[in-house]
Amino acid sequence: MEPATASFILIGLMLVILSTGIWIGLALGFVGYLAFLLMTSANPGLSFAPTLWGSMNSWTLTALPMFIWMGEILFRSSLSDDMFKGLAPWMQRLPGRLLHTNVFGCGIFAAISGSSAATAATIGRMTIPELRKRGYDDFMNIGSLAGSGTLGLLIPPSIIMIVYGVAAEVSIARLFIAGVIPGIALMLIFSGVLMGWAVLNPDKVPPRDPPMTFAQKLNESRRLIPIVGLIGVVLGSIYTGIATPTESAVLGVVGSLVLTLITRTFSWKMFADSVMGAVRTNAMIGLILAGASFLTVAMGFTGLPRLFAEWINSLGLSQFALIMALMVVYIILGCLIDGISMVVLTAAVVMPAVKAAGIDLVWFGIFVVLVVEMAQITPPVGFNLYVLQGLTNKPMGYIAMAALPFFLAMIGMVFLIIFLPDLVTWLPNQMLGQK
């Protein structure tokens, strides 16, 4: 069978299987098995067990369950609830007022979670009732949560960055540092969207809360100290070289447990629920990684990644044209599969072309994270949309439309790092030196 024909058959088969609702990891593994049968003479059974073991037996991946567990602990504690009270006094003078607590709350929680869905769920559970009670517009409240929740992928520590780092063989510490400035920039862009909306719709913004003195604001902000301290321990240990990302993840878990004891929110039920939540999430991610690894090995046997890279090179695309083409591909994929699957599924096919084009792999990692962020708020698979639907009981179409301005803001952020690549590469080069 011709490679092109087989490729179309495999892609079509994958879309059909995914549309049935079967687990993504199983679908990826099954398509890999068929790729072996259709396009190679190799025995798939000889590659199956070593590939599954190799995909799971990675020291780098041990950071993943720890960061997820840390987010689960904080999700179930009272620490997230204190964030609203600590942030609210400082947002009153901004156009849009307390809507900005969604953006900055998600930005802070993202720095200790690493998960987009967990960030949206935690901050949404905190801010939606408060903002509704105060009369804020539901459309922009939900939209800002959907968009800002994606910061959980860009602001380190990020689960997607760990997965990309393993797949592309890139330093995870360098990726974490590279995400800091783009993460802050995207937060400011989201706030700018809220300010623009508030200026155009002043009647939809409730009046300010009673004014507070500077001392009163500082007193309220004391509630942020535990969260900020935990962020300092986790990220500071990585950036100063004291700990690896895996070790810092363990520090984060221990720190979050200590904080729950100090704030008297620890219970054995909370502990057990956090463990089970982390186990379920990790099992899902592990199955996806295993299936995608097997598919990647199958693609290597077929030679399709090499053929794809040669085809891209034959087109003579500039770096900009290649990035634009990949952005369209990733946005389309984001409508069909989740972010982790996007990264591990495309790594083997895309990386040869990216390397051949001379694109910095750390910069490309941040680009991938941004387009995966878009996938979190694009129907029908966008995880953040489902999280917010569960929190608000609004129709999926309503939530997707509310998220649209922030989706466009993310596209703007992609162009920003294209034309100002130092936003990504400057900080890791300063802290870790040139590669």
The DSSP secondary structure of 362-391, one letter per residue, reads HHHHHHHHHHHHHHTTSTTT-HHHHHHHHH
Q: Is residue 108 part of a domain?
A: yes
Q: Is residue 128 part of a domain?
A: yes
| pLDDT tier for residue 420 given thresholds of 50, 70 and 90 | very high
* Cis before 156 (ω within 30): no
Contact 72, 156 (CB under 8 A): no
Q: What region, left, alpha or beta, does residue 135 occupy, with left being phi > 0 and alpha being psi -120 to 50 degrees?
A: left
| CA distance linking residue 44 with residue 69, whole number of Å | 35
Render pLDDT for 42-67 as a digit per residue (tens, 0 to 9).
777 777 778 777 767 766 667 778 87
pLDDT at 365: 93
Q: Is residue 5 part of a domain?
A: no
| CA distance linking residue 20 with residue 168, whole number of Å | 30
Say which amino acid occupies 317: L
Contact 27, 10 (CB under 8 A): no
pLDDT at 127: 80
Tell me the Cα Rg of the chain: 22
Q: Is residue 35 part of a domain?
A: no
Which residue segment(s) compose the domain that 327 sits in? 58-432
Instruction: For the beta carbon of residue 283, count every other beta carbon within 10 angstroms.
Output: 12
- Which of 240, 58, 68 minimizes the C-alpha distance to 158? 68
Q: Is residue 48 part of a domain?
A: no
Render pLDDT for 319-342 as a digit per residue (tens, 0 to 9).
898 899 888 888 877 766 667 777
pLDDT at 364: 94
Q: Which tokens sit at 416?
A: 């920003």
The residue written with tokens 């609004």 in the block is 394
Q: Is residue 2 part of a domain?
A: no
Q: Rounded mean pLDDT of the chain?
A: 80
Q: Report the number of distinct structural domains present in the chain.
A: 1
Q: Is residue 51 part of a domain?
A: no
pLDDT at 381: 62
Long-range contacts of 81-87 (CB under 8 A, 24+ apart): 81/126, 82/223, 82/224, 82/226, 82/227, 83/108, 83/109, 83/123, 83/126, 83/223, 83/224, 83/227, 84/126, 84/127, 84/130, 85/220, 85/223, 86/220, 86/221, 86/222, 86/223, 86/224, 87/221, 87/224
Question: How far is residue 84 from each of residues 78, 87, 101, 219, measured CA to CA in Å?
Answer: 11, 5, 7, 13
pLDDT at 232: 83
Q: Is residue 14 part of a domain?
A: no
The residue written with tokens 């199955």 in the block is 287
